[in-house]
Amino acid sequence: MIEYQRRTNETDISCVFDYKQEKTYDEKDSVKIQTSLPFFSHLLETCFYHGKFYLTLKAEGDIEVDPHHLVEDIGIVLGICIKKWWQAHTVSRFGHAVIPMDDALSEVVLDISGRSYLLFRDIFPQPMAGTFQVALLREFFVAISSKAQMNVHIILREGLNSHHMAESLYKAFGISLAQALLPLSELRSTKGVL
């Protein structure tokens, strides 16, 4: 289990992160998200629930200025937790998921390699999902991929509705991250290290 807290002049975020590949995943209270951005909370809950993670996240920020600070800093905190987790375990490294939701189809491919890179191809038809700016989703993935030192490729293949597209994307990310964090008995790297 990884516990981490980050406080700045703009945000205050605490996180407890765990991943256990169990035959019986206890869904009750496995993911608890509290942010002042309801749609983003919903995306995070969807992501980590479908990945079968245990996550408690409480985040407050100066959203009256701009939600950007809170979204980015949540990505930073989650990225740090993911990195701490994979550094303490031998992991499978690679994950891939293509997930539909109604009109939307999203693909996420990642490598927990110790090197950060983000490819983010989006075609959001509406700039907002409710009151949430979907452009902020890229900022979240910039932060999480950088701090977790993951190579992440995100391709929003299809979609007519930005809400559906964002939700399929977060489900795909959670499932591919779970695959990449599966335990292995030995490190899979020609270098011998990540």
Confidence of residue 194 (pLDDT cuts 50, 70, 90): low
pLDDT confidence of residue 26: 67
Average pLDDT over residues 163-180: 98
Query: CATH for 2-180, among 3.40.50.620, 3.40.50.300, 1.10.357.10, 3.30.230.40?
Result: 3.30.230.40
- Please enumerate, as own/partner, the contacts of 40-46 that have beta carbons within 8 Å and a separation of 24 or more: 40/67, 40/70, 40/71, 40/74, 40/132, 40/136, 42/167, 43/137, 43/166, 43/167, 43/170, 44/74, 44/170, 46/167, 46/170, 46/171, 46/174
The confidence score (pLDDT) of residue 184 equals 83
User: Which regions of 102-149 does DSSP assign to beta strands (E)?
Assistant: 104-112, 117-121, 128-129, 132-133
Query: pTM for this structure?
Result: 0.93
Burial zone of 101 (CB within 10 Å; 0-12 exposed, 13-18 middle, 19+ buried): buried
Helix (H, G, I), strand (E, B) or coil at 39: helix
pLDDT digits (tens, 9 = 90+) for 34-49: 999 999 999 999 999 9
Q: Give the CA angle between residues 44, 153, 76 to the nearest 5°.
A: 45
- The predicted pLDDT at position 7 comes to 97
pLDDT, residue 191, reads: 58
Asked whether residue 28 carries a pLDDT value surpassing 90, the answer given is no
Q: What DSSP designation does 64 have?
A: T
Burial of 88 (0-12, 13-18, 19+ CB in 10 A): exposed
- Residue 134 has, within 13 A of its CA and on its CB side, a CA count of 21
Q: How confident is the model at residue 3 (pLDDT cuts 50, 70, 90)?
A: very high
Reported as a single tens digit per residue, the pLDDT across 86-102 is 999 989 999 999 999 99
**pLDDT at 22 > cutoff 80:** no
Domain ranges of the chain: 2-180
pLDDT at 44: 98
Give the span between the Cα atoms of 1 and 142, in whole angstroms: 24
Evaluate whether 112 touches 183 at the Cβ level (below 8 Å).
no
Read off the pLDDT of residues 112-155 as tens digits, 9 standing for 90 and up: 999 999 999 999 999 999 999 999 999 999 999 999 999 999 99
